[in-house]
Amino acid sequence: MLRSKGKEAREHDLVLRRLVRHSGLPGVDWLNKGTSPAQLRVARLIELLKTAEEQQRTYLTAAEFSPEREAAESRYRAAEDEANEILARYRGSQRVLFYGTPTVAFWVTDWNRVLKDESYGAEIGLISHALSLLPRGLINRLRKCRECGKWFYAKTDHNTSCSDNCRNKYASHADEFKRKRAAYQREYRARQREREKRSWKLLEQDKTGKGRKTQ
């Protein structure tokens, strides 16, 4: 019996919530600590995986032979190729394949270096985790906080902030923007009404001759 996509997503969410709760997300703290070539490379890899997954979904749902389908295929193939170029930098044989359900093949690395180098271990841990999320359709859960810009793992699909503090800050910005926008709209409408009044007044003066100069 086939399970619904909704049920599968809930099961995946449960597994990943337990993973985050008990062991944390490997490498996210490392990714937020700086902008070294390794950190930029991993951040780029995650973005490429997200792009490839999103564009492949568009490709699979678009009408056959449509321009949208062709464009989506081109984009996800390009992202796939660049992602594999990044993975090829690591010792071993790694390749991510987007065909139907995204799969990861031959993830092997230098485990001796992982054990000796904490930074490299965090780097490999995050890459491994990102690749494990890909077949589940959850790579998009690795995202940047819309307030502070830090990477985090979203425990729910609608979560866009890394913490309660950032969520509250973002909400306050949004509320302030709304207030400023409403005040601007009130002032704009008041000025518009005043201009309309002056225009009608001039028009009436012109009709009655009161506003004309005498010869």
Residue 167, SS3 per DSSP: helix
Whether residue 178 sits in one domain with residue 110: no
Whether residue 206 sits in one domain with residue 102: no
Greatest mean pLDDT among 164-173, 183-192, 204-213: 164-173
Whether residue 180 sits in one domain with residue 123: no
Whether residue 155 sits in one domain with residue 175: no
Whether residue 9 sits in one domain with residue 108: yes
Q: What is the pLDDT of residues 106-134, one digit of tens each?
A: 555 677 887 788 888 888 888 888 888 88
Q: How much is the average pLDDT of 166-184?
A: 79
Whether residue 44 sits in one domain with residue 64: yes
Whether residue 123 sits in one domain with residue 75: yes
Greatest mean pLDDT among 25-29, 153-157, 198-202: 153-157
Q: What's the pLDDT score for residue 19?
A: 43
Closest CA to 74 of 63, 86, 87, 59: 59
Q: What's the pLDDT score for residue 21?
A: 46
Average pLDDT, the chain: 79
Q: What's the pLDDT score for residue 196?
A: 80
Q: How much is the average pLDDT of 6-32?
A: 58
Number of domains in the chain: 2
DSSP-assigned states of every residue in 3-52? PPHHHHHHHHHHHHHHHHHHH--TTHHHHTS---HHHHHHHHHHHHHHHH
- Confidence (pTM): 0.68
Other CB atoms within 10 Å distance of the CB of residue 57: 13
Whether residue 131 sits in one domain with residue 28: yes
Q: State phi, psi for 214 to the nearest 5 degrees.
A: -80, 145
| 97 to 57, 67, 136, 162: CA distances (angstroms) | 14, 23, 14, 30
Whether residue 106 sits in one domain with residue 11: yes
Q: Looking at 136, 160, 184, which one is the last position of a domain?
A: 160
pLDDT(179) > 80:
no
Q: What is the pLDDT of residues 147-165, one digit of tens each?
A: 999 999 998 889 999 999 9
Whether residue 134 sits in one domain with residue 72: yes
Q: What's the pLDDT score for residue 20?
A: 46
Q: Looking at 113, 135, 160, which one is the last position of a domain?
A: 160
Q: Could you tell me the two tokens for 49?
A: 């995986």
Range of the domain at 193: 163-215
Whether residue 156 sits in one domain with residue 50: yes
Closest CA to 129 of 10, 13, 52, 16: 16
Whether residue 134 sits in one domain with residue 208: no
Separation CA 27–CA 90 (nearest Å): 16
Q: How many residues are given for the chain?
A: 215
- Number of helices and strands in the chain (H, E): 7, 4
